[in-house]
């Protein structure tokens, strides 16, 4: 059975975010949107190592945040992907839905990304 990717792109996990999570070191998400989708999937799969590796060192926490027990991620909607000042800066606006303790939640964020050495990193986000 083919496992669908949690990011909702309509591809199998292995052909989508799975290749960035488990791929060789030279295999990197090619766009800020692809990185954002792979980070969402990493939250769904509770892959703290991938989240730390894709978070820029200038804004990364020294200790990863723990995953909330019982939290279920329900879906991702990418609203906008925009290149900023140059080809190495971008933003991605998204809404991620989740449920915990019988309550539904929406995270609406515009995340900032930077590319260094050919690799995209998450910088930070502004909650809407």
% the chain with pLDDT above 70: 98
Say whether domain 13-127 belongs to CATH 3.10.450.50.
yes
Q: What is the mean pLDDT of residues 1-5?
A: 90
Cα–Cα distance between 86 and 76 in angstroms, integer?
26
- Can you give the residue ranges of every domain in the chain? 13-127
pLDDT of 11 above 90 = yes
Per-residue pLDDT tens digits for 19-29:
999 877 657 89
> What pLDDT band is residue 1 in, cutting at 50, 70 and 90?
confident
The DSSP code for 26 is T
**Residues facing 99 on adjacent strands:** 72, 104
| Coil, strand or helix at 27 | coil
- Determine how many CB atoms are found less than 10 A away from the CB of residue 64: 12
């Amino acid at each position: 059975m083919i496992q669908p990717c949690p990011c909702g792109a309509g591809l199998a996990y292995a052909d989508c975010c799975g290749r960035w999570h488990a791929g060789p070191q030279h295999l990197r998400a090619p766009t800020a949107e692809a990185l954002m989708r792979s980070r969402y999937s990493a939250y769904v799969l509770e892959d703290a190592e991938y989240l730390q590796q894709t978070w820029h060192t200038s804004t990364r926490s020294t200790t990863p945040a723990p995953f909330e027990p019982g939290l279920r991620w329900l879906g991702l909607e990418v609203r906008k992907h925009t290149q900023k000042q140059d080809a190495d800066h971008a933003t991605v606006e998204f809404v991620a839905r989740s449920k915990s303790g019988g309550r539904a939640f929406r995270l609406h964020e515009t995340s900032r990304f930077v590319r260094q050495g050919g690799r995209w990193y998450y910088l930070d986000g502004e909650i809407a």
